[in-house]
Structures are given as C-alpha cells and as structure tokens.
C-alpha cells in the first residue's frame, strides 16, 4: 500500500515527514534519502502498533482529499510504500557473541535505529552509507 507523506524543510532544520492518514506519526532525516527511509520505517512501525492495539488501518487518502489540508502548506507530498497489514512480525532468535552484539548495538545507535531495525535493514541492504552522528 502507498500512503501520502508530507515533506517539510525549514532553513537550518532537518527534513521532517508527517502523514495525513496517521496523525502523530512523524519522523525526520538530515538528508532527503534519510527522510525517505525513515518515513517508511516510521509508517511501518506506526501501522504495526495500530494493529497490535486492534485499531483499524485507514485506506490511503487521495491527493484530492488532502488538497485543502493546512498541514500541506509549504510541504511536498510524496508516496511511502508499506507492506500490507497481514504481513505479521515474527520473533527470530539468533546466537552471537556478546562483543558482536555490543558492536551491532553501537552501529544501530549511530543510525538512530533499534537493534532489530538495524539488523533487518542491514540484511536487506537498505542502510544508507553515512549514519547519523550523535553527540
């Protein structure tokens, strides 16, 4: 499924992303690519939480339906694809040395991701080349 996302950029700020179909689902990225990647991850996580809470997932809005949305002022609309809600999350157990897990966690932190999100994105070749640097 594809949902509309709004890309916002103010001077001296990161690229912000919000979703008209999912109030409260927001993310950001330092680059356009990071914002796009983070948008897909944020939307998937938000939908997963809604499913776990027994909430109904809205059908994707059309551009005509959001044309008068005040949140779209100054924003660029783009589409974000997510897997259908029926694609269940499964728990996977792996064996790794403690030092390897520590290195994975440190790298995940640099990318601003959880351990699970980092391992999935790394395994699928979806990590950007330059992680976010945190102080």
With 50 as the cut, is the pLDDT of residue 32 above it? yes
**Residue ranges of the chain that CATH labels 3.30.160.250:** 2-89
Q: What is the CATH number of domain 2-89?
A: 3.30.160.250
Q: Which pTM was predicted? A: 0.61
- Dihedral of alpha carbons 6, 9, 14, 15, sign: positive
Q: For 38-79, what is each residue's pLDDT tens digit?
A: 999 999 999 988 888 888 999 999 988 998 888 888 899 999
Three state DSSP letters for 90-120: CCCCCCCCHHHHHHHHHHHHHHCCCHHHHHH
Angstrom distance (rounded) from CA 47 to CA 56: 9
pLDDT of residue 85: 62
Angstrom distance (rounded) from CA 134 to CA 130: 12
- Dihedral of alpha carbons 109, 113, 117, 122, sign: negative
């Amino acid at each position: 499924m594809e949902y509309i996302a709004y890309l916002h950029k103010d001077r001296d700020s990161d690229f912000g992303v919000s979703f008209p179909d999912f109030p409260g689902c927001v993310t950001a990225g330092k680059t356009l690519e990071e914002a796009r990647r983070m948008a897909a991850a944020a939307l998937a996580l938000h939908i997963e939480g809604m499913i776990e809470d027994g909430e109904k997932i809205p059908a994707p809005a059309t551009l005509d339906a959001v044309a008068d949305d005040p949140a779209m002022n100054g924003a660029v609309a783009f589409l974000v694809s997510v897997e259908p809600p029926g694609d269940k999350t499964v728990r996977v157990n792996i064996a790794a040395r403690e030092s390897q897990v520590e290195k994975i966690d440190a790298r995940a932190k640099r990318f601003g991701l959880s351990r699970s999100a980092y391992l999935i994105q790394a395994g699928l070749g979806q990590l950007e080349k330059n992680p976010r640097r945190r102080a």
